Homo-oligomer: A and B are copies of this chain.
């Protein structure tokens, strides 16, 4: 599994540090392990072993385990950078701000294909793990904590359930009239839902 063995698959081939495809080999190993074992079940050391490199090299290319996991999701944007202003402005209006950031990413044609590939991964256990550990745990839950919500896990799961459903109806099924509504109409329809899930009593 470790050391050079040029005939094996890219994810498991050993490489000299700095070889041009070392980064790609680490990323392929990370995708495979995160999908098989989830975030908690995967270690930097395990990814390094699968890629046939030293753990220090994984840190060198990708930073922390969180950074590596987000890289493995192959998102077209860095959600943490986009969501920082949502949290910084506080909980008032956070539902609308979150929705506008979310729609801004999805409405950009350059992003949609790779995001839809992630959504189609819902059909497989590996894709389900990436979505649960990635989108919910790594992206939405930190936002809920940054907003100092009570019960952030439950509130962000509710938020996720509405955002996932919106994506499926509008971008995957292209169900009309939802698929053709302008973003402002989506904000009018969905922002109150998200704001209630974030900050209002839930019964």
A156-183 contacts to B (CB < 8 Å): 157-158, 160-166, 168-170, 172-178, 181
Query: Main secondary structure on chain A at its contact with chain B?
Result: helix
Asked whether, in the complex, the Cβ of B188 is within 8 Å of the Cβ of A202, the reply is yes
A123 / chain B contacts, CB cutoff of 8 Å: 120-124
A196 within 8 A of B: yes
A173's closest neighbor in chain B, by CB? B132
A166–B101 Cα distance when bound, in Å, is 22
A7 / chain B contacts, CB cutoff of 8 Å: none
Q: A120-B123, A122-B123, A165-B165 are in contact. Are A158 and B178 (CB under 8 A)?
A: yes
Copies of this chain assembled into the complex: 2
| Interface residue count on the A side (C-beta < 8 Å) | 44
Partner-B contacts on A (CB < 8 A): 119-124, 128, 131-132, 136, 151, 153-154, 157-158, 160-166, 168-170, 172-178, 181, 185, 187-190, 192-193, 196-197, 202-203
Residue contacts A-B, CB under 8 angstroms, 26 given: A120-B123, A122-B123, A122-B168, A122-B172, A123-B124, A128-B173, A131-B173, A136-B169, A153-B176, A153-B177, A157-B176, A157-B177, A158-B178, A158-B189, A158-B190, A161-B162, A161-B178, A162-B162, A162-B193, A164-B164, A164-B165, A165-B165, A168-B168, A185-B202, A187-B203, A192-B203
Complex A-B, nearest 10 residue pairs according to Cβ-Cβ distance, in ascending order:
A188-B203, A165-B165, A123-B123, A161-B165, A157-B178, A120-B123, A161-B169, A164-B165, A132-B173, A189-B202
